[in-house]
Amino acid sequence: MIKLKRVLTIAMALSSVVLVAQSDEDVLKTIYKQSLTNGQSYQWLNHLSNQIGSRLSGSLGAEKAVAYTKEELDKLGLDKVWLQPVMVPRWVRGAKEYAFIETERGKTNTVNICALGGSVATPGLGLKANIVEVKNFEELEALGKAEVEGKIVFYNRPMQADLISTFEAYGGCVNQRYSGAVEAAKYGAVAVIVRSMNLRQDDLPHTGSMTYGNLPVDERIPSAAISTNDANLLSTMLQLNKDIKFYFKQSCKQLKDVQSYNVIGQITGSEFPNEYMVVGGHLDSWDLGDGSHDDGAGVVQSMDVLRLLKESGITPKRSIRVVLFMNEENGLRGGKKYAEVAKQKNENHVFALESDSGGFTPRGFNFDCSDASFSQVLSWEPLFKPYLIHYFEKGGSGADVGPLKTETNVLAGLRPDSQRYFDHHHASNDTFDAINKRELELGAATMTSLVYLFDKYGINPINTSGNIKK
């Protein structure tokens, strides 16, 4: 019996020698192979999407998702798994919204809308008013109170189709959705209808967060998104007759904050246990679809990073944490709480990577880091080439990891192919059938590879002269 034990010990020692001798090329090959042939992310996402479904902060779905992901992390044999309490806002949609365009009394065209997240309801019987179209806040200002008061403001600036990054196109439009109500209220508007943030022409309204800023409660006006097809229809009908009326009804409301959690798992570092590397996505989603791309994909990929490290025989020197953030969509409370607690505990977070741009074919990463760290990343480009990972750009990372930024650490965001993302984003078709298993698994492997490299080589700090300190 002792003999067998000794043989095993020797065999294990030998096998770790073999691992140490492995080139980075070999390690990445192992990681990608593990993910593509033995990945867990797709099965986890199937459960999260099809058994649990949407996970809006404070909902039963969110609660179930916390329990499920904690349970699954518990099975992975990590060094530590825990829940981090965080209070989250709770907004509920209520009954399905209803809207129509009225050309003359009794002649109506039903259109597809959904309340924006955080919006107030219309009066119980709905709201009907004249409607005025603008493309941006400058046009709104030019119209002024005379043209806006008592009316619904219709923001109809489309996402710019000739931008290659659809996230850039989104960035160029989303102020209509986020600040449209508070801007329109200044001029006495009674409500706001916003063209959906969608590059396709279709019938699906896309929700998303909006703000009332400092607007007193009694001055808040209801705000809804309209599908791109219906935005075009409404625009055409307004050109034919500016006196048409728009009716809509929604019964959403903001309830009291409720208790929720970030879900955290950790592999404790073998050499530098007090240096933390985070990989994460957000567990909450909007309520219309099942949140498969936004951000179920990021959640399961992040979970799989820790599993893939283990399965690939990698013993990280630093402590690697998966953090499943709660409430990215309408509050970012989870991201803020995590950073707050990290600061309180004086935890040195040297690296944080978020996946929150969909589960499509990974193309690379964005980095929020020093030039020295970015040079380090660029030196790894050849390692990623066999996996068609080619995009390494400075600027941007992820909303949830943003609060962890320090002068010397590295924040990163996975960048999948973005062409299809806004077809699904915040809409009822953000569902599991839009996920491709291989694309999801390639993302998990790509994240794992970056974590492996930063753990192995450490973060290049900058000295005061801005040069790399070895």
Number of residues lying near a second copy (CB under 8 A): 26
Q: Which region, judged by CB under 8 A, interacts with a second copy, from 33-41, 103-111, 114-122, 133-141? A: 33-41
Residue 44, CA atoms < 13 Å, CB-side half-sphere: 29
Q: Is 50 in the site for a second copy (CB under 8 A)?
A: no
* Residue of 211, 437, 461, 462 interacting with a second copy (CB under 8 A): 437
Q: Is 361 in the site for a second copy (CB under 8 A)?
A: yes
**Least distance in Å: CB of 213 to a second copy?**
34
Of 324 and 444, which CB lies nearer to a second copy in the complex structure?
444
* Residue of 68, 98, 374, 387 interacting with a second copy (CB under 8 A): 387
Q: Which residue has the tokens 């973005």?
A: 418
Q: Is 202 in the site for a second copy (CB under 8 A)?
A: no
**Residue 122, CA distances (Å) to 190, 207, 225, 431 in order:** 10, 16, 14, 29
Of 9 and 50, which CB lies nearer to a second copy in the complex structure?
50
Cα–chain center distance at 321: 18
**Least distance in Å: CB of 35 to a second copy?**
9
Of 170 and 246, which CB lies nearer to a second copy in the complex structure?
170
Choose among 133, 126, 179, 139: nearest CA to 152.
133
**Cα–Cα distance for residue pair 355/352, rounded to 1 Å:** 10
Q: Is 420 in the site for a second copy (CB under 8 A)?
A: yes
**Cα–Cα distance for residue pair 252/216, rounded to 1 Å:** 18
Q: Which region, judged by CB under 8 A, interacts with a second copy, from 96-104, 145-153, 324-332, 385-393? A: 385-393
Choose among 138, 98, 168, 237: nearest CA to 395.
168
User: Is 168 marked active-site?
Assistant: no
Q: Which region, judged by CB under 8 A, interacts with a second copy, from 45-53, 98-106, 282-290, 415-423? A: 415-423
**Cα–Cα distance for residue pair 326/86, rounded to 1 Å:** 8
- In our burial notation (b when 16+ CB lie closer than 10 A, e otherwise), range 138-168 reads eebeebeeeebeebbbbbbbbbeeeeeebbe
Of 40 and 254, which CB lies nearer to a second copy in the complex structure?
40
Q: Is 388 in the site for a second copy (CB under 8 A)?
A: yes
Choose among 431, 433, 388, 115: nearest CA to 250.
115
Choose among 251, 227, 252, 250: nearest CA to 109.
227
Of 16 and 201, which CB lies nearer to a second copy in the complex structure?
201
Q: Is 33 in the site for a second copy (CB under 8 A)?
A: yes
Given the residues 328, 329, 354, 441, the one annotated as active site: 328
Q: Is 363 in the site for a second copy (CB under 8 A)?
A: yes
Q: Is 135 in the site for a second copy (CB under 8 A)?
A: no
Q: State which of positions 137-196 bind a second copy (CB under 8 A).
A: 161-162, 164, 166
Query: Nearest 5°: phi and psi at 50?
Result: -95, -25
Beta bridge partners of 133: 154
**Cα–Cα distance for residue pair 163/421, rounded to 1 Å:** 14
**Least distance in Å: CB of 77 to a second copy?**
24
Active site residues: 328
Positions that interact with a second copy (CB under 8 A): 32-33, 36-37, 161-162, 164, 166, 199-200, 361, 363, 386-388, 390-391, 417, 419-420, 423, 436-439, 442
